[in-house]
Amino acid sequence: MDRQKIKEAGLKLTPQRLAILDYLRDNLEHPSAEDIYKAILERFPTMSFATVYNTLETLREKGAIQELTIDPQKKRFDPNPRPHHHLICNRCKKILDIHIDYQLHVPEEKKNGFEIVGNHIEFYGICPGCRLKMSGMQS
């Protein structure tokens, strides 16, 4: 989301918002609110944690980002609002994009009257880094 789009969404152009959006732009790490807060604190020491949450919620409302519920411990944020899938490392919780368009048809008789509007696939696995650490230790 650029300055143009922020205004179009009826949002004020604050330094905090710009810092958060700047941090998220092209970010593929799916950071948590705390990740974002800590990263920005270094260059923006007056940033409040509450503002991070406020801003993320505002951006989500406007459809500029999405909230991921993949990590059981905390919400993770994705600056790419377009539907795509994810691969998560069971060990370190690293999240990677999977851009593949699967055709997931659900026959009417399995919908139980639901109106389906979307889907999201979580792939589970072990990342290369964790695999290395694991080989050479037990369990």
Partner DNA sequence: TATTAATTGATAAATATTATCATATTGAAA
Partner DNA sequence: TTTCAATATGATAATATTTATCAATTAATA
- Site of interaction with a second copy (CB under 8 A): 67, 69-72, 75, 87, 89-90, 96, 98-100, 102, 104, 106, 110-128, 131
Please choose which of a second copy, Zn ion, DNA, none residue 91 contacts, taking the beta carbon within 5 to 8 angstroms, the exact cut-off set by kind.
Zn ion
Longest alpha-carbon distance in the chain: 55
Given the complex with Mn ion, which of 34 and 97 has the nearer CB atom?
97
125, 89 contact by CB (below 8 A): yes
Given the complex with DNA, which of 17 and 30 has the nearer CB atom?
17
Interhelix angle 49-61/15-24, rounded to 10 degrees, is 70
Which residue type, as a one-letter code, is found at position 4?
Q
Please spell the DSSP secondary structure of 44-103, one letter per residue: -TT--HHHHHHHHHHHHHTTSSEEE--SSSS-EEES--S--EEEEETTT--EEEE-----
For residues 69-108, which are near Zn ion according to CB under 5 A? 89, 91-92, 94
CB of 55 to DNA, least distance (A): 5
CB of 116 to DNA, least distance (A): 24
Binding interface with Mn ion (CB under 5 A):
78, 97
Helix (H, G, I), strand (E, B) or coil at 32: strand
CA–chain centroid gap for 115, Å, is: 25
Each residue 35-74 as x (binds Zn ion by CB under 5 A) or -, in order, gives ----------------------------------------
Binding site for Zn ion (CB under 5 A): 89, 91-92, 94, 127, 130
